[in-house]
Amino acid sequence: MLILEALEEHGTLRFTQIGRIVSGISQKMLTQTVRRMEEDGLVKRTVHPVIPPHVDYELTPIGHSLSEAFCGVWVWAEKHRDEIERARRAFAEANGSKRRPA
C-alpha cells in the first residue's frame, strides 16, 4: 500500500526514491514488492540502458484504480487510528490485568 501511494502521489519514481519515501523498507523487500506489483500489472517498470543504471517505476491504469479503491481504507485508518488505540488500551486494562496480575 505504501509503495502504491508513493507512486500515486509522486508519479514516476526511481528505485531509491521509492525507498526513501517508504522509509524503513529494506531494499530486498522493495525489490520483491515492486516485482510482484509488476507481475500483477499494477506498475510499469522502465529500464534505461545507461550507466549508472536508471529504472523508472510508474503506476499502470489498474494500479491507479487500486490506489483509488484503497483510498477509503486509507481515510478510515487516519480517522479511526486514535479510536483503535484507545480500544486496545481499554481492552488491555480490562483483560490483561487478569492474566498478568501485578
Residues lying near DNA in the complex (CB under 7 A): 14-17, 24-29, 31-32, 34-35, 45, 52-55
2 binds, among its own copies, DNA, none (CB under 5 to 8 A by kind): none
Residue 27 Cβ vs its own copies, minimum distance, rounded to whole Å = 20
Question: CB–CB of 58/12 below 8 Å?
Answer: yes
For its own copies, give the closer residue by CB, 69 or 102: 69
Helix axes 2-10, 27-39, angle to 10 degrees: 80
Q: Which residues of 36-52 are buried (b: 16+ CB within 10 A; e: fewer)?
A: ebeeeebbbeeeeeeee
58 forms bridges with which residues in the sheet?
44
Whether omega for the bond prior to residue 53 falls within 30 degrees of 0, making it cis, is: no
Residue 20 Cβ vs its own copies, minimum distance, rounded to whole Å = 27
For its own copies, give the closer residue by CB, 20 or 84: 84
Residue 90 Cβ vs its own copies, minimum distance, rounded to whole Å = 8
For its own copies, give the closer residue by CB, 16 or 65: 65
